[in-house]
Amino acid sequence: MMDSNQMPDGWLKSKICDIATVSGGKRLPKGEILSEINTDHPYIRVANMKEKGLVLENILYVPNSAIESIKKYKIFATDLYISVAGTLGMVGEIPKELSGANLTENANRISEIKCNKTFLLYVLRSNLVQKYIEREKTISAQPKLALTRIKNFHIPIPPLKEQQKIAAILSSVDEAIEKTEQIIEQTETVKKGLMQQLLTKGIGHTEFKDSPIGEIPSSWELVSIDELFDIEGGMSFSRAQLSDQGYPYLHYGDIHASPKQYISTQDFDTIPRINIDESKIKTRAIVKVGDIVLSDASEDMEGVGRYIVIRDSNKEDIVSGLHTIALKDTSHMLDNSYKEYAFQSIFLKKQFRRIATGATVYGISKGNVKKLIVPVPPKDEQIEIAKSFLELDTKIAYERSKLPRLQEVKQGLMQQLLTGKVRVSIDEGEEVLP
């Protein structure tokens, strides 16, 4: 925490208890359980608290039989909350629709705030406090932060108008981040809808035919995967054998972690390599441009059939690795750009789910994969379909590329402004947010 001797002119070092009231929440009485039925008495749990605020989708409610016993432990839109058990130090505001909700015993209510609430929110989320929380947490099976600890946190407090302007500056960056995330989400929603349309109905078709996988355009063919590709297993190496030199090594973890459906030379720095003699690399596991690498294992059904297309390799051999199936293009019936989307159609997803086996981890086998049926449009239509998706992917990638920079700007501003290392100027008569 900041030393009082380091305080900028006009700033004070205050305990939280000097500028606000800190109080605990309350658990339900013994024998009572929360309800999914709306009783008009929402109950805010740590499970609802995330880095950016409350998640409203999984709110539970206090049963009518328990309302009277915990009615004094409510939190309001004028307050802040801070989690004090489990995941410590999550801080946020209460939306108006949850004002008056009951608060879990695993969080504290910060009320009667005598400084700018948004300024205090940013201070509590900053490293000034979060590092202190990390040091102060009780070491146990479930970390716990005592109420007295929070009351005695020391934080820097500038004059009110500085608080307001700092809060306004940081809020504007958060708004830019939120707007960017919304654009990404909206574009992904458009892409998802367009994919199910174009990958099943194509472009401009008026005549359709029934098929074993559903109705498809009359000019499309149905081809099994083993007619399109040679199907090979990957090579398994231990983590100890991986390095930053040698052959790019693509294993199932890389496939599931990638936000893209392809890999190119610019991605090689993000995946491990296998540094072994060429003679020990099995030819069947080497994938080239236009080949597909499938993950054969997934922790959830949504990830079954996740895959990567080799877009370019700069003539490097890429090794299909642990828990993967290599689909090596032999037919050239699918355009390379179309491959990046073809397996995401509802036709293929249903088939992948049908062949998946397992309870906690789902697996697919080469023998089952080769039987899958792929709808194949004419090549020129494949190219047009892929072009439509590529435009959306380019927009998504551009917006995603802005987020790290915006986060970096925000962290830098928090470090500079909340400590007074950089002072904001307040002009006489300047209007700032309350």
What 3-state class would DSSP assign to 230? Answer: strand
Alpha-carbon distance 176 to 45, whole Å?
28
In DSSP terms, 156 is beta-bridged to 13
Looking at residue 320, its amino acid is S
Other CB atoms within 10 Å distance of the CB of residue 345? 20
* Predicted local distance difference test score (pLDDT) of residue 135: 77
Q: What is the pLDDT of residues 208-228, one digit of tens each?
A: 999 999 999 999 999 999 999
Residue 432 has pLDDT above 60, yes or no: no
**Average pLDDT of the chain to the nearest whole number:** 92
* Predicted local distance difference test score (pLDDT) of residue 136: 66
Residue 189 has pLDDT above 90, yes or no: yes
Q: What is the pLDDT of residues 259-318, one digit of tens each?
A: 889 998 888 888 889 988 888 888 899 999 999 999 999 999 999 999 999 998 888 889
How far are the Cα atoms of 198, 257, 346, 388, 401 from residue 393, in angstroms, in the given order? 15, 17, 19, 9, 12
The DSSP symbol for 278 reads G
* Predicted local distance difference test score (pLDDT) of residue 126: 95
Alpha-carbon distance 185 to 187, whole Å?
6
pTM: 0.82
Q: What is the pLDDT of residues 364-395, one digit of tens each?
A: 999 999 999 999 999 999 999 999 999 999 99
CA angle 392/394/399 to nearest 5° reads 95
